[in-house]
Amino acid sequence: MSGVDAVDVVMLPRYVLAAAPLTEERRRELARQAGLADLPITDPTAMVPSDGYLKLWELVEHECGDPLLALRAAHTYYPGQLGLHDYLFTTAPTIGDGFRQLGRHIGALTTNFRFVPAEQTEQECSFDVVLLSGEGRSRELAIQSAVTRLFTRAQHATGRPVHPVRVGFRQRAPRRHDDFAELVGTRDVDFGTATDRVTFRNADLELPMRTADSALAEILAGYAASLPTRPVVTTWTARLHDVLVPMLGRESVGIDEVARRMHLSGRSLQRRLAEEGTTWREELARARRELHEGARRSTANTQQLASRLGYGDARSLRRAAARWAAADRDGPA
């Protein structure tokens, strides 16, 4: 089985690099380390693996030594930096309408996020920012920037001091809250919440955009709706195979190294696989078997084939092949 990873428009990793006070040479090196060495230069609509975007956040934070970098990045944002997705927002009549456009056409920016309305009262309206795939510090940084960018984007579009009423983050609380809260735009910040959520006053959501343009908004919405459906996140098992298969026979295939490339810990990967009714050992064996079926047609030497599949010797491969044959005879348990 082969899965398709989530993708982000190339402007997202460019946004991360632009926020980093680094030389261009160092930025290129960090992009390379994140697996984005071929970061497209000319096509602003090109899509890149979301894993690379998430990893880039962590690399840049470590390089700059600034735990508030993702929040500061949202304050350096300028309209148009994220292309079509920005213009869908700025041409809407009001902030609320703009937010609805952002959620409706999120696929123009990423397949790894969702932006959805949550609770609403007579005075307030909440929105959940959902990251579908990603864990650890890279996840925290991506969410921090996405949440904070909502109100800095609204400030640019309206020319008004728009701030959230409160914000909730799933992450653990940082050691110091003061600077964090100031950059998030509200003192009412909770941590360890069930969702990553931002709440605005309904009155603020009715504020008009300075660049509202109904005719252009209609054209942009039609164009966004016409874009081809982007690849979406599939199962963790599929994502594992996308990472694992290219590693077989070329380097170590231990669970910790594979999990690291998926931006998980080994324990988290085991838990994700268990939720899907499988294990690391079962998926490693399945990947080897699938590769064996294709490789044995072109590789007659058993030792070479064993090495290609990541086995220590030909005997180990023969034992594995015998188990696969027995399983075929017996059928599924």
Q: What is the pLDDT of residues 86-131, one digit of tens each?
A: 999 999 999 999 999 999 999 888 989 999 998 889 999 999 999 9
Three-state secondary structure call for residue 165: coil
User: Does the structure show a pLDDT above 90 at 314?
Assistant: no
d(CA 267, CA 172): 19
Average pLDDT rounded to a whole number, residues 159-177:
91
User: Does the structure show a pLDDT above 50 at 274?
Assistant: yes
DSSP H helices, 65-135, are: 69-76, 84-90, 95-104
List the domain boundaries for the chain: 7-226, 236-330
Across 32-46, 121-135, 260-274, 298-312, least confident range: 298-312
pLDDT at residue number 40: 52
d(CA 193, CA 249): 43
Across 69-83, 130-144, 289-303, least confident range: 289-303
Q: Out of 3.30.465.10, 1.10.10.60, 1.10.540.10, 1.10.3720.10, select the CATH number for domain 236-330.
A: 1.10.10.60
pLDDT, tens digit, 9 for 90 and up, residues 43-52? 677 788 888 8
Q: How would CATH label the architecture of 7-226?
A: Alpha-Beta Complex (3.90)
- With a pLDDT cut of 90, the percent of the chain lying above it is 45
Exposed e or buried b per residue across 8-18, where buried means at least 16 C-beta atoms within 10 angstroms of its C-beta: bbbbbbbbbbe
pLDDT, tens digit, 9 for 90 and up, residues 225-242? 887 766 544 567 777 877
Residue 140: closest CA among 67, 36, 220, 45: 67
pLDDT at residue number 332: 42
Q: Residue 34: CA atoms inside 13 Å, Cβ hemisphere, count?
A: 30
User: Does the structure show a pLDDT above 70 at 251?
Assistant: no
Average pLDDT rounded to a whole number, residues 27-54:
78
d(CA 184, CA 201): 16
d(CA 92, CA 256): 46
CB 287 within 8 A of CB 244: yes
- With a pLDDT cut of 70, the percent of the chain lying above it is 80
**Cα-trace Rg, the chain:** 23
CB 161 within 8 A of CB 155: yes
pLDDT at residue number 297: 44
pLDDT, tens digit, 9 for 90 and up, residues 174-211? 887 888 999 989 999 999 998 899 999 999 999 999 99
Q: Hey, what are 16's tokens?
A: 């991360």
Residue 174: closest CA among 70, 311, 24, 304: 70
d(CA 143, CA 146): 5
Mean pLDDT of the chain: 82
d(CA 211, CA 155): 12
d(CA 69, CA 64): 8
The owner of tokens 């456009």 is 101
Q: Where are the beta strands (DSSP E) in the chain?
A: 7-9, 47-49, 113-120, 124-131, 166-169, 189-191, 197-201
Number of H helices, E strands in the chain: 16, 7
